[in-house]
Structure 1
Amino acid sequence: MNLIKNHFERLANELMHEIFDYLSSNDVIESFSHLNKRFTIVLSQRLLKIDLSHLTKSQYENLIHIIPSNQINSLKISHKSTINILFRISFNLMNNLQILIISHVTYNDLRYLFEIKNTFLTFQQLHTLKIQSTNFNGLDRERIFVLQKIFSQMPKLRICQIPLMDVNDFDDLIPTFTLEQLIIDYCTTICLGK
């Protein structure tokens, strides 16, 4: 075992980065963080794609303390009631966050999240936002508030996925000029007959 360790440590940093590309960022951080000074330096040069969507509470608690927030480029989270990760994350420290994927969330949860000033400043840097939800019970005003925030105050947004939208919502929204792709999981046409 010691022989293998010595050979791995002799690899050039570029080769280590190539190997790390085949592993999940979660595994890389858990396995190599604070192993020694060289690995700490190599890891500090990487942007991370973190997936917190399938973690238990104890796994989340262990991992969140060793993840360098400023290196997170992509974040996938699930807001299941057992962990409530969504409101425990300090988004304001994630100044490199470009991709955010949130599942199991309501428009009410998103409204609360978007109303936190420091959090929303981070969201303005996003180029991809995917909201994946199976829960469509949200008041129209919550949905409209969230959609207005997304379309009017996220100037770098290129890809957006939203779970529910009414055809008439387009009347109140002005999409950003950078938006290239809009994915709507479920679109209603309730008011078309009026």
Structure 2
Amino acid sequence: MNFEQLVNDVLLDFFEYLPSVELLQSFSHLNYRFNSLLISHFRTHGLNMQSISKDNFDIICREHLPFIAPYLNGLRLSDDDDTPHQIDNLFSYSFSLNRFIQLKSLTLYHISTNEMLKQIVAQFNCHSHLIRFNIINCHVTFDRKILRDILNCICNLPKLMFCHLDMHLSSRGNFCLPSIRSKSIESLWI
């Protein structure tokens, strides 16, 4: 039996065992059927770019992201030591969050600057369907007004149900509550 003769459900099950990078590099742009299967996969599984090399990240941004961005339901990005400046690099490829029109889950690891977080949150008006937002291991120094503005933007998301904000503030005196009350958040972890 030839690999291409496998039924779609078997191929989609197979896709679940491959990291996003290998999946895209192996099956993207082969033919219409595989492109459709990739779209189906990323509609339900999202794209995890948390631990990929800079070279692979650049290849995905140049060759694959324009094709799958409108279909992604989830995105994970990181600015840790292994993937420095990944979020800035994504924006340098002219990918603002408004290109991810189906995005329901966004997870950001190791955000290192106030400007980056403000830039991301400012784009939330395009994501009225975002259900899950996570900031993990964020080490930035906020003043109270910036933090309140960020929290207000997050609370303003009409469908946001799950929010995890792992932010290491420089002092407890900098923490403040949002001035807007969310009508949709069911689980909030700060």
TM-score category, normalised to shorter length: 0.7 to 0.9
Name 1:160's counterpart in structure 2.
163
Q: CA RMSD in A?
A: 2.3
**Residues 17 and 78 from structure 1, CA distance in 2 versus in 1: closer, same or farther, beyond 3 angstroms?**
same
Alpha carbons 2:75, 2:107 under 8 Å: kept: yes
Structure 2 unaligned regions, length at least 5: none
**Separation in 2, partners of 1:122, 1:11:** 38
Task: Please say if 1:95 is aligned against 2:101.
Answer: yes
Aligned to 1:70: 70
Q: What TM-score results when the alignment is normalised by the length of structure 1?
A: 0.78
Q: Match for residue 123 of structure 1?
A: 127
TM-score, length-normalised on structure 2? 0.79
**Equivalent of residue 24 in structure 1, options 14, 19, 23:** 19
Aligned partners of 1:78 and 1:40: how far apart in 2?
Answer: 26
Q: Quick check: 2:27–2:34 contact (8 Å CA) kept in 1?
A: yes
SS across alignment from 2:46: strand
1:110 Cα deviation (Å)?
Answer: 1.4
Higher strand share: 1
**Cα distance change, pair 177–14 in 1 and its aligned pair in 2 (3 A):** same
Q: Does 1:110 align with 2:114?
A: no
Aligned equivalent of 1:59:
56
User: Post-superposition shift, 1:82?
Assistant: 4.3
Rg (Cα) greater in structure: 1
Give % identity. Answer: 25
Q: Structure 1: give runs of 5+ residues left out of the alignment.
A: 1-5, 185-194
Please say if residues 79 and 86 of structure 1, whose CA atoms lie closer than 8 Å, have aligned partners that are also in contact.
Answer: no
Q: 2:53 and 2:13 mapped to 1: Cα distance?
A: 29
CA deviations over 1:69-120 (Å, ceiling 9, x no partner): 01111100013544433533331111111110001114432112333xxx32
Q: Secondary structure at the match of 2:2?
A: helix
The answer on whether the counterparts of 1:132 and 1:162 sit within 8 Å (CA) in structure 2 is: yes
